[in-house]
Structure 1
């Protein structure tokens, strides 16, 4: 018995990877290394070019370039705070709307939808993911904006006018349909197909024995989703959400059409505003001198924000894996 125990306690020897000897193995190894180094060099090159291009603006205005709200091309005075706030606000609104809808779509398609209905909806989601962003922007400007102004902004402004806090956030002084909330809704429509498609695929890959075991002990569909599917696919769900957030932060044309492109800060999400991407798109063709440097500095800030989002995503994923 002791000999058997000792034998079982000895860890199995880990198979050793053979050193590449053949020509194809060496070529494959070197090609893989070059590919990995190329990604790092490309990222370093982008970061370096952005910093060099935007440095004159950072040097001229210092911290006030980030905290300032004045953007005057005639006086060469630039402040990025309204664009930064607009970028974060529209992305947050898009996540608040898009994430619950995306998760609901994915759960319905994998757990509740009948077979005859599942395939058409899945195909529609994939088609929506392939629609160019400018199409979303044109649809938002010519179709969604007039309807939103007539049936949401005007009635809502009449209801909340004069209310504390709620009235400040939802009241529109000029209900044209353009604004931060409109841009956030359009972004939500754009990120829903990406998040829903990824989460659906991840839920489909969870072994069916886990679900069947949960149903076998009397669990409801909600309990299976809450206690089996979500923990199993938690890392993938976070990754899908961060992918959607990355697109929402960097989206240009669709937001430019519907955000209003007003360089001002407003407590109301109904009022027009601007984002970093929309400001760059509007002014880049005619920018010269310090204005060009300010726009590149805006791009550098957006790059930094995206990098911070990636770091946060990595931290969340690592924490989910530990549970």
Structure 2
């Protein structure tokens, strides 16, 4: 009896030791995993800080020479060594704004068609085509824009706009010559085509998450498809839609090659959106290879402005998503 008791005690002791060893092992694994994930997060922050530091250090000569007047300077002249950021910044903001005004309603409309109206046999091919468009390199969009869209704009669309909207007081100032085909409006159309697949794909995916019961209940109450989209789909998925729109805006702000092909690359501030202009990314792409000294520093200062602008867009996106969640 005593031997059995001792054996049982030893067995229980071994089991306790095994349990303690296993617990120690799992605790060590958790600690290692914690530090790995912490290191990965810290690496991202360090990379962002390193990028910011490089931009700030190399942009200092520009701000030492021009001060903060660089931010509102309207002249960019390499021979005179005078540089101002306003034409590039305004071109970036205006082209992105026009692109978003075109792409947002089109993207949401296509997503509603795919989820609510599209025949079943066409839904998958159209969805696949949209996803393929999202993977096309930006330089391809630029080539297509240069050889197809620019002649169409120059020969047909821009003359029509100048003869119609261009004759309207005030608004007509946006459609004044010269109109060689390249310009902010052409760049905006290319940007809209580029960001359309992103907005459409995300909107389609978030619309698919709406519970079928909500749709069926709405249709059962006699709602039309438009009313279901307006009162059910969009309110239910507004957080995902805001995220998709901001993703498209982020790409539009930083797009380089496609815009460089069709924007005209003229560093001059003007009211007309059909005349050649420039953006931050196009200005850097066109001049960085041959730049040195103060011009190189000014281009890096433009890159710093684009970095800050992108950060502000992401911060605004987080704020808007938070506001959407609180509604």
TM-score (norm 2): 0.90
Stretches of structure 2 lacking an aligned partner (at least 5 in a row): 1-22
Rg larger in structure: 2
- Matched with 2:275 is 271
Residues 261-308 of structure 1: per-residue CA shift (max 9 Å, x gap): 001111111111000000000011111111111000000001111111
In the alignment, what sits opposite 2:5? none
* 2:189 counterpart of 1:185: yes
Distance 2:235 2:136 in 1: 31
In structure 1, what is the equivalent of residue 292 of structure 2?
288
1:1-323 alignment, distance < 5 Å: 21-160=26-165, 163-173=168-178, 175-323=179-327
- Asked whether the equivalents of residues 76 and 268 of structure 2 are also in contact (C-alpha less than 8 Å), the reply is no
Whether contact under 8 Å (1:65, 1:78) holds in the other structure is yes
Q: Label 1:238 to 1:27 Cα distance change in 2 as closer, same or farther (>3 A).
A: same
Deviation at 1:166, TM superposition (A): 2.6
The answer (yes or no) to whether the contact 2:166–2:174 under 8 Å persists in 1 is no
Q: CA RMSD in A?
A: 1.6
Q: 25-34 or 103-112, which moves further after superposition?
A: 25-34
User: Do the aligned partners of 1:153 and 1:172 also contact (CA within 8 Å) in 2?
Assistant: no
TM-score, normalised relative to structure 1: 0.91
- Mapped contact 2:264–2:277 kept (Cα < 8 A): yes
The alpha-carbon distance between structure 1 residues 298 and 220, as it changes in their structure 2 partners (threshold 3 A), is: same
Query: Matched residues in 2 for 1:162 and 1:134: separation?
Result: 35
Measured after TM superposition, the shift of residue 171 of structure 1 is: 2.1
- Aligned residues between the structures: 305
Q: CA deviation at 1:20?
A: 8.7
SS at match of 2:288: helix
CA contact (8 A) 2:246 2:313 kept: yes
1:164 CA drift (Å): 1.9
